[in-house]
Amino acid sequence: MSVRLKDLPTEELLHKGNLACAGCPEMIGFRHVLRALGPETIVINATGCLAVITQMGVPLVPHFHVLFENAPAVVSGIDDALRVQGRREGVNLLVVAGDGGTADIGLGSLSGAIERGQDFIYVCFDNEMYMNTGGQRSGTTPYLARTTTTPVGVESRGEPRTEMRRKDMVEIAVAHGIPYAASASIGYPLDLVERVEKAARVRGPTYIHVHSPCPTGWGMEPSKTVEAAQLAVKTGCVVLYEVEEGKRRVTRPVARRAPVEEYLKLQARFRHVVADPAALAEVQRGVDERHAAILARMA
């Protein structure tokens, strides 16, 4: 029973106009997430692009920009306080953060909140780098991607850590025995809304990892955000799946994967890879291997 376009909630919970770059994926994603959750939602926002671009009253729901790494702890306090006061019913507690705030500096705090079984929806917008500080690598930066801290030069070809060892946040959440975790993409908004609606029905922690191609950081035309997001899925760089009480299911199967080159060539951060057949083959192998490993877990 998937969400159809005509079922989409129509209430917009963001003011028109914001401080984001043209083509910002986080704004697209945040808009859909809020529409899915509705006005009875309190947003706790870790430091990062989203916290900055929503400043000056962009959200129409309560919005609390906290620190870079403590949003899961803050939401824990809110969750418990509302319970003591008997006011927990009917309110969604939504945490939004970037990949840096989630996979790197905030991982301990998130792990603690999941493990305690706090009731919240955690949405990570993964643009695969620290964009608020200008594009440094993060624990989710893909193999060989150029960032400001993994430049391309005589001694370096971009991000050195291989594809198989990228932090896999969905699996990290699942390893906690989380009741619901999923990957999603801003390129597939109906799927994203469905994941969020599902998470909202769960009592307890839920985690949604939203792939968010960033034109500014990746060196793309702002008009290519959605296309890049869809190509990431079509090439198998991103697999959309959910894990419900431990049961895995691919939510958007891809019958025949396109070559990764189609995805990479949109992005200046991979220019040196696209220009070098050996590097390109290496990246393709890494993606194949990771893809196979994810699908193998579905069985």
Partner 1 sequence: MTTEFWNGNRAAAEAARQARVEVVAAYPITPQTHTVEYLSEYVAAGRLNARLVRVESEHSALSACCGASAVGARTFTASCSQGLQLMSEVLYFASGMRFPIVMAIANRTLSVPVSIWADHQDTLVNRDCGWIQLYAASVQEVYDLVLMAFRTAEDPRVVLPAMVAYDGFILSHASEPVETLSDEVVKDLLPPAPPHLRPLLDTKDPKQLGEVLFPDFYPDIEYKKHRALEESLAVLGEAFEDFRSRTGRRLSAVETHGCADAEIVIVGLGSMMQTARHAATRLRAEGMKVGVAQVRVYRPFPERELARAVAGARTVLVLDRDIGYGSAGMVYPDVTRALYHAPSRPDVLNFIVGTGGKDITPKTIERCVELGRGGYRGMSVFWPDARGPAEGIPYTPGVKACPCG
Ligand X SMILES: Cc1ncc(C[n+]2csc(CCOP(=O)(O)OP(=O)(O)O)c2C)c(N)n1
One-letter amino acid for residue 215 of the chain: P
Name the token pair of 40: 């009875």
**Judged by CB under 6 A, does residue 139 bind ligand X?**
no
Place of tokens 């198989």: 164
Q: Is 26 in the site for ligand SF4 (CB under 6 A)?
A: yes
Pick 79 or 128: Cβ nearer ligand SF4: 128
Q: DSSP label at 114?
A: H
Residue 149 near partner 1 by CB under 8 A: no
The answer to whether the beta carbons of residues 45 and 54 sit under 8 Å apart is: yes
Stretch that binds partner 1, among 23-31, 54-62, 204-212, 248-256 (CB under 8 A): 54-62
Q: Which of 49, 74, 78, 93 binds ligand SF4 (CB under 6 A)?
A: 49
Distance CA 85, CA 236 (A): 46
Helix H segments across the chain?
25-37, 49-53, 71-84, 99, 107-115, 169-174, 189-201, 215-218, 225-234, 260-264, 271-274, 277-298
Question: How many other C-beta atoms lie within 10 A of the C-beta of residue 268?
Answer: 14
Q: Give the one entry of partner 1, ligand X, ligand SF4, none that residue 115 binds, where binding means its C-beta sits below a cut-off of 5 to 8 angstroms depending on kind.
A: partner 1
The residue number whose beta carbon is nearest to ligand X equals 98
Q: Are 179 and 206 in contact (CB under 8 A)?
A: yes
Residue number with CB closer to ligand SF4 (26 or 163):
26
Between residue 60 and residue 79, which ones bind ligand X under the rule CB under 6 A?
68
Torsion of CA 79, 42, 107, 220, to 10 degrees: 170
Residue 139 to residue 133: CA distance in whole angstroms = 15
Return the one option of partner 1, ligand SF4, ligand X, none that residue 148 interacts with (CB less than 5 to 8 A, by type).
none
Binders of ligand SF4 among 73-132, rule CB under 6 A? Answer: 127, 131
Choosing from 23, 98, 179, 189, the residue that interacts with ligand X (CB under 6 A) is 98
Residues 66-125 that bind partner 1 (CB under 8 A): 66-67, 69-70, 72-85, 87, 91, 108-109, 111-112, 115-116
Stretch that binds ligand X, among 93-101, 150-158, 200-208, 290-298 (CB under 6 A): 93-101
User: Does residue 26 contact residue 54 with C-beta atoms inside 8 Å?
Assistant: no
Point out which residues bind ligand SF4 (CB under 6 A).
20-21, 24, 26, 49, 53, 127, 131, 214-217
Point out which residues bind partner 1 (CB under 8 A).
39-42, 44-45, 51-52, 54-57, 59-67, 69-70, 72-85, 87, 91, 108-109, 111-112, 115-116
